[in-house]
């Protein structure tokens, strides 16, 4: 296995870092404190080609590989996880769903503007009463002539109140259980589409998270993605790929916390010495770096399998599980290294710690990832790819 980044991937990584140092880092604390969604920055990322890095060239994308897209999410999350999450949801989930399963006419209509971040996407799966149990969804889509009428609500939707294009999962045949779920494209401005109560969050405060309500929303039948009853199968495939992006999201948070903790340890002095010279601090940094590298390798493996057209579900779950728990562990250690200052909003590590928790919950909790991994092991045995 080749662990070296290609020239193109290094260019993406380095160019994005320069952009983030200039356009994101100086503002991230303010965005977090005032809960400002940085729409303008996401637009700039689209103009520079980062949002569409892995999408087909005919839609304005860069036709790069899965790892390149994960590098974008990781690079953004190292500075501001809210920006990283907004872009991950837009690229991997909403735009990704359309790219994977929509008809060519639908792709040609929606993807060019989404790839350029001129239009933002939201992916509507989770509901107030169903998260990991996606088959228990209550949102319904009933056929009415040449339209479907959608009723229900979705909860915890990233980009939910700022999106222009919504990919919505709804039940079209309640008697078919999972085979009765279908996916639709709904555009902003559709009568009956609205947002519910404002959601206040522990972290990721600059990421837009909203309840999306559908009250007799009429959607043209041509906006059905694929065939009736294919929505649940599509959802599972989208989530598989999305977990690679969340692994990048988590790895970026962990790396940001590590870099901040290392810089602080080199500057902070106790008893006339840098705290970086104390073994207790060195061991924490060593463990952080080791776990981050392990998460990185798991992410690269899952991305490589995906691009080779091989099964990657178990590997994506492993990457997401380990990277998310590494992010939580590493940010706690970063706060510890900072001591009392780590608990202050003046230093970014407390924000990293708050942001990291979502990685263990979103796109399938850690418990769900373990279920996926264990099911695969019991079915297929253990043979690393």
Catalytic residue numbers read 363
Confidence of residue 197 (pLDDT cuts 50, 70, 90): confident
Residue 132 clears pLDDT 70, i.e. is over it: no
At how many degrees (to 10) do helices 279-307 and 66-77 cross?
150
- Location of structure tokens 């373990």: 370
CATH number of 232-380: 2.102.10.10, 1.20.140.10, 1.10.20.60, 3.30.930.10? 1.20.140.10
Instruction: Specify the pLDDT at position 46.
Output: 98
- Which CATH superfamily hosts domain 122-229? Butyryl-CoA Dehydrogenase, subunit A, domain 2 (2.40.110.10)
Instruction: Render pLDDT for 15-41 as a digit per residue (tens, 0 to 9).
Output: 999 999 999 999 999 999 999 999 999
Exposed, middle or buried, 343 (CB in 10 Å: 0-12/13-18/19+)?
Answer: middle
Handedness of CA 198, 201, 203, 209 (dihedral sign): negative
Residue 1 clears pLDDT 80, i.e. is over it: no
Instruction: Render pLDDT for 49-94 as a digit per residue (tens, 0 to 9).
Output: 999 999 999 999 999 999 999 999 999 999 999 999 999 999 999 9
Instruction: Specify the pLDDT at position 175.
Output: 85
Exposed, middle or buried, 130 (CB in 10 Å: 0-12/13-18/19+)?
Answer: middle
Per CATH, the architecture of 7-119 is what?
Orthogonal Bundle (1.10)
Instruction: Render pLDDT for 284-320 as a digit per residue (tens, 0 to 9).
Output: 999 999 999 999 999 999 999 999 999 999 999 999 9
Domain extent listing, the chain: 7-119, 122-229, 232-380
Using a pLDDT cut of 70, give the percent of the chain over it: 99
Confidence of residue 133 (pLDDT cuts 50, 70, 90): confident
Answer whether 205's CB lies under 8 Å from 37's CB.
no
């Amino acid at each position: 296995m080749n662990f070296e980044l290609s020239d193109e991937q290094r260019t993406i990584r380095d160019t994005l870092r320069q952009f983030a140092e200039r356009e994101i880092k100086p503002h991230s604390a303010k965005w977090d404190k005032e809960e400002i969604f940085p729409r303008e920055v996401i637009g700039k990322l689209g103009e520079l080609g980062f949002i569409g890095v892995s999408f087909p060239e005919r839609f304005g994308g860069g036709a790069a590989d899965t790892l390149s897209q994960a590098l974008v999410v990781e690079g953004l999350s190292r500075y501001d996880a809210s920006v990283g999450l907004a872009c991950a949801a837009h690229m991997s989930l909403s735009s990704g769903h359309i790219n994977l399963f929509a008809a060519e006419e639908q792709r040609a209509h929606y993807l060019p503007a989404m790839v350029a971040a001129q239009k933002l996407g939201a992916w509507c799966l989770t509901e107030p009463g169903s998260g990991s149990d996606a088959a228990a969804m209550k949102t319904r889509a009933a056929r009415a002539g040449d339209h479907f009428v959608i009723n229900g609500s979705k909860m915890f939707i990233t980009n939910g109140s700022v999106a222009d294009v919504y990919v919505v999962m709804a039940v079209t045949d309640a008697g078919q259980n999972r085979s009765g779920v279908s996916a639709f494209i709904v555009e902003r401005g559709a009568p009956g589409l609205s947002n519910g109560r404002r959601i206040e969050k522990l972290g990721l405060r600059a990421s837009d998270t909203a309840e999306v309500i559908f009250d007799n929303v009429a959607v043209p039948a041509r906006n059905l993605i694929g065939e009736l009853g294919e929505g649940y199968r599509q959802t599972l495939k989208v989530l598989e790929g999305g977990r690679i992006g969340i692994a990048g999201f988590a790895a970026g948070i962990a790396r940001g916390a590590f870099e901040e903790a290392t810089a602080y340890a080199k500057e902070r002095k106790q008893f006339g010495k840098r705290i970086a010279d104390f073994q207790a601090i060195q061991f924490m940094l060593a463990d952080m770096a080791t776990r981050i590298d392990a998460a990185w390798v798991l992410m690269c493996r899952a991305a490589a399998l995906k691009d080779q057209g091989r099964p990657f579900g178990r590997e994506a779950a492993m990457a997401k599980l380990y990277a998310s728990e590494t992010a939580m562990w590493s940010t706690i250690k970063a706060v510890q290294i900072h001591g009392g200052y780590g608990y202050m909003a003046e230093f970014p590590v407390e924000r990293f710690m708050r942001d990291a928790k979502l990685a263990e919950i979103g796109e399938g909790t850690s418990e769900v990832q373990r279920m996926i991994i264990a099911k695969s092991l019991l079915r297929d045995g253990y043979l690393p790819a």
